[in-house]
Structure 1
Amino acid sequence: MDDADRIQAASKFLLQSPPGEINDVLNDVRNIISDDDSLQAGVLPALREYNLAQFITADVPGHQHQSIVSDAARVPSGSSDEDDEQSQDRYWDPRSRTSFRFDHLTLETSDPEHVEPDSESEPFRVALENAALAYLASHYHDGVVSVFSTPGSASRFTIQIVANKYNPNNFWSGRWRSEYVVDTGAKQVTGRILLNVHYYEQGNVQLSSTHSLALALPPAIAPGGGAAAATKVLALVEAEEGRYQASLNDTYAEMGEKTFKGLRRALPMTRSKLDWDKVLGYKLGAELTNSKAGFSAA
């Protein structure tokens, strides 16, 4: 296997990294490619793809909040050179009207610049952002939300939410991502909810779930509707996420009662339940029996 094949294999491993564990995977694949410089250069496209898809969060330079780094946050470069990495790695935070350069390897931000938003779409985008921040504070213990307008459109907006929970001491990690495209012209909200959970204590179990949705907007909702219209949009999001959470709870309950029980024998081969309070007695009895057999043989 040559270096190109090793880099391709390493990139595939990185793209399958569980939430919060990509650095561990990156350290592991260093054993595949002994040259760190070649590894970093070779897997940078995979790191970029992973970070954008996973809604990686970044500290906004000069501000006390984080923003989501995603395709929706990418700043158009205006360059015809698609291989220009610097033009690919500039993103913006609409909340602070700041664009910044993002390093997909170190996850650090730099080179902040002020960005003047579109004057026509900005009022309703801000209204959606305020409603989304209120929703986030009510329903997420630790999450980040970003609301983006669509370049060239005054009626299309993207709401992205990400919440991470890493608990390596107990061998599990999880990530919730949700994305909603609000189109006030078409009077609809389309989106998806993505859930990833990894449990790896003496094993390797992953849950990956995707839920797609399409909701109709009330006719009264329009970019000029202001805070009231934005609140109604987030009410739709709240109801949909609530239904999805309830369905997950029902699924887990059914798996515990049916699916997992079907994977193992309900009773031991004796067809009788084991009394765990008497386990020590069972062991002692077996030892006495073996001792008696030994005396008889003697």
Structure 2
Amino acid sequence: MDPAERIEAASKFLLQSPPGEINDVLNDVRNIISDDDSLQAGVLPALREYNTTQFTTAEVPGHQHQSIVSEAARVESSGDGEGEDEAASQDRYWDPRSRTSFRFDHLSLESSEPEPIEPDSESEPFRVALETASLQYLQAHYHDGVTSVFPVAGSSTRFIIQIVANKYNPTNFWSGRWRSEYTLDLAAQTLTGKILLSVHYYEQGNVQLSTTHAVSLALPPAIAVSGGAGAAAKALALVEAEESRYQAGLADAYAEMGEKTFKGLRRALPMTRSKLDWDRVLGYKLGQELTNSKGVFGQPA
């Protein structure tokens, strides 16, 4: 396998990394490449794609909250001066909540160089209302979640709502990530988007769950830019109802899987058709050892 093929293989592995485990995968693929400089340059596009599609979160410099790194947050491409190698791994994103743009390094996952950014004055009031409603929804339903609300460029009636929540538990060998993204189109009176869920369980095995749920809803007539905070709350109520239905559906599917699918893969009882009394197993073993230790007339063999 030539170096280019190795880089391509390493990039594919990185793009399939389970939640919170990309650094582990990166360390593993280093053995495939055996050249850190080539590895960094070769897999940078994959890291950039992974971070933006997985809604990697970044600390906003100078503020006490995180923002989502995504295509909706990108404000410009980098590579505009000194330090070409360093700049190649960086892009500039913005956090509408603090009206701040920042550089984000896709290798180190660090943010830097904050700059103020002025939002669109026409769409900003309703975007803020959506953001407030999204933060309230996040606080009620997610642990350590992050949400960002962006206006769609060139439109004062379209907005993107993104939510991400991560749970990493390497001690117990599992990790998970919830992502949801919605486009609210007030002109078309629609709410469209998708929910993506990834879970990895790897104790003495390797089991992954990856699901995608498409969302397409019609908005009530009352939801409009002029509706302000009330309209924004109603839009998030639609999100809440849809995500609750999806979560309930997953719970039902898991219950059915445990009761039917998994039970169909094995016998409910051993071939004797009776359950083994585990409390008596030690007694069985002890009796067998005593029997084997005696001769024909009960004397030690």
Structure 2 residue aligned with 1:15: 15
Structure 1 length-normalised TM: 0.93
1:151 maps to: 153
**Corresponding residue for 2:64?**
64
Q: Which residue of 1 aligns with 2:114?
A: 112
Q: What residue number does 1:27 align with?
A: 27
Secondary structure of 2:33's partner?
A: coil
Given residue 13 of structure 2, which amino acid in structure 1 is its aligned partner?
F
CA distance in 1 between partners of 2:56 and 2:78 (Å) = 24
Instruction: Give how far 1:283 is off.
Output: 2.3
1:144-173 deviation line (CA, Å, top 9, x unaligned): 000000000011100000000000011110
In 2: Cα distance, 1:273 partner to 1:281 partner = 16
Counterpart in 2 of 1:126? Answer: 128
Partners of 1:205 and 1:294 lie apart in 2 by: 54
Q: 1:24 to 1:294 in 2, by over 3 A?
A: farther
Distance 1:135 1:171 in 2: 29
Deviation, 1:76, is 4.0
Aligned-CA RMSD value: 2.2
Structure 1, residues 162-207: CA drift from partner, whole Å, max 9, x if none? 0000000111100011111100010010011111111111110111
User: Paired residue for 1:97?
Assistant: 99
Paired residues in the alignment total 294
Structure 1 runs not aligned, ≥5 long: none
- C-alpha distance 269-32 of structure 1, shift in aligned 2 (>3 A): same
Give me the whole-angstrom Cα distance separating, in 2, the residues matched to 1:203 and 1:105. 29
Distance 1:294 1:204, change over 3 A: farther
**Alignment match, 2:207:** 205
Q: CA offset at residue 20 of structure 1?
A: 0.1
Deviating more after overlay: 271-280 vs 281-290: 281-290
- Between the aligned partners of 2:277 and 2:253, the Cα distance in structure 1 is 30
Q: Secondary structure of 1:32's match?
A: helix
What's the offset of the Cα at 1:269? 2.1
Counterpart of 2:139 in 1: which secondary structure? Answer: helix
> Which amino acid in 2 is paired with 1:143?
G
State which of 220, 225, 228 in structure 2 corresponds to 1:226: 228
Contact persistence 1:121–1:149 (CA under 8 A): yes
**Please, which of 137, 140, 151 is the counterpart of residue 138 of structure 1?**
140
Counterpart amino acid of residue 242 in structure 1: S
Q: 1:45 maps to what in 2?
A: 45
Q: Which amino acid aligns with 1:28?
A: D
- Partner in structure 1 of residue 271 of structure 2: 269
- Structure 1 match to 2:218: 216
2:130–2:232 Cα contact (<8 Å) kept: yes
- The answer on whether the counterparts of 1:166 and 1:172 sit within 8 Å (CA) in structure 2 is yes
Corresponding residue for residue 175 of structure 1: 177
Deviation at 1:87, TM superposition (A): 10
Q: CA contact under 8 A between 1:74 and 1:88: conserved in structure 2?
A: no
SS at the partner of 1:164? strand
Gaps of 5+ in 2: 80-84
Check 1:104–1:287 CA distance in 2 against 1; reply closer, same or farther (3 A cut): same
Match of residue 82 from structure 2: none
CA contact (8 A) 1:44 1:105 kept: yes
* 3-state SS in 2 of match to 1:41: helix
For residues 17-71 of structure 1, what are the alpha-carbon distances to aligned partners after superposition, in whole Å with 9 as ceiling and x for unaligned?
0000000000011111111011000000000111111000000011110000011
CA gap of 1:27–1:295, structure 2 versus 1, over 3 A, is farther
Aligned to 1:259: 261
Compared CA separation, residues 282 and 99, structure 1 to 2 (3 A): same
C-alpha displacement of 1:86: 5.2
Letter of the structure 2 residue corresponding to residue 160 of structure 1: Q
Deviation at 1:281? 1.9
Query: In structure 2, what residue type is equivalent to 1:177?
Result: R
